[in-house]
């Protein structure tokens, strides 16, 4: 919103109204919260803030890409990002599993081990996500952290093994079939 301020807004609003508009933006920008490290601190003398939704999207993208350095930096600036999820319940751990990013998975679980047991609204675990992409290494890391994920069905009643078989994910199916299931 701040980037558009200098482009024709003064003509639309008039000089006085434009000054009030800028003052309102400055108050809004200061009240929004922390600055994102990749953003300049001011634009035309007005403090600039990046919306929290953008921070979450950037954090999720870094998790999916396995950019652990970016993730660490973002967590230093905003530790609450670790617990954020989309409206459907998808977390950064789901993103890391989708991208087969072992480093990101380990970083996320190091900061918040409870992420391993976070399910989406469809009851999809990060292990389900890894299996749908045939990511055996990500699946192994997740399984080692919580073996009960192996027997957790999604809303369609599919366990990770049934998903692997149903989606013809051969590598994951072979790996999952080799694990003895303990239903206790």
Q: Are residues 56 and 37 in the same domain?
A: no
Domain assignment of residue 13, given as a range? 2-47
Structure confidence at residue 124 (pLDDT) = 95
Distance CA 87, CA 66 (A): 23
| Domain tally, the chain | 2
**What's the predicted TM-score (pTM) here?**
0.70
Per-residue pLDDT averaged across 115-139, rounded? 95
Q: Are residues 92 and 170 in the same domain?
A: yes
Q: Are residues 70 and 143 in the same domain?
A: yes
pLDDT digits (tens, 9 = 90+) for 8-36: 444 444 555 545 444 444 443 433 443 43
Structure confidence at residue 54 (pLDDT) = 81
Distance CA 41, CA 103 (A): 30
Q: Are residues 14 and 90 in the same domain?
A: no
Q: Are residues 135 and 58 in the same domain?
A: yes
Sign of CA dihedral 168, 164, 65, 48: positive
Q: Does a structural domain hold residue 85?
A: yes
pLDDT digits (tens, 9 = 90+) for 121-131: 999 999 999 99
Q: Are residues 115 and 159 in the same domain?
A: yes
């Amino acid at each position: 919103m701040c980037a558009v301020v200098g482009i024709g807004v003064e003509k639309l609003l008039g000089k006085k109204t434009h000054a009030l508009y800028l003052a309102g933006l400055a108050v809004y920008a200061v009240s929004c919260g922390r600055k994102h490290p990749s953003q300049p601190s001011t634009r035309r003398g007005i403090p600039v803030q990046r919306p929290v939704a953008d921070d979450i999207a950037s954090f999720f993208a870094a998790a999916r890409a396995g950019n652990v350095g970016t993730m660490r930096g973002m967590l230093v600036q905003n530790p609450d990002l670790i617990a954020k999820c989309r409206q459907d319940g998808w977390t950064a751990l789901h993103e890391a599993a989708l991208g087969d990013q072992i480093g990101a998975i380990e970083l996320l679980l190091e900061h918040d081990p409870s992420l391993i047991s976070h399910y989406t609204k469809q009851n999809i675990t990060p292990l389900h996500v890894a299996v749908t992409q045939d990511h055996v290494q990500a699946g192994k890391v997740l399984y080692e952290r919580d073996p009960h994920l192996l027997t957790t069905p999604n809303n369609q009643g599919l366990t990770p093994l049934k998903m692997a078989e149903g989606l013809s994910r051969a590598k994951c199916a072979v790996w999952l079939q080799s694990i003895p299931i303990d239903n206790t």
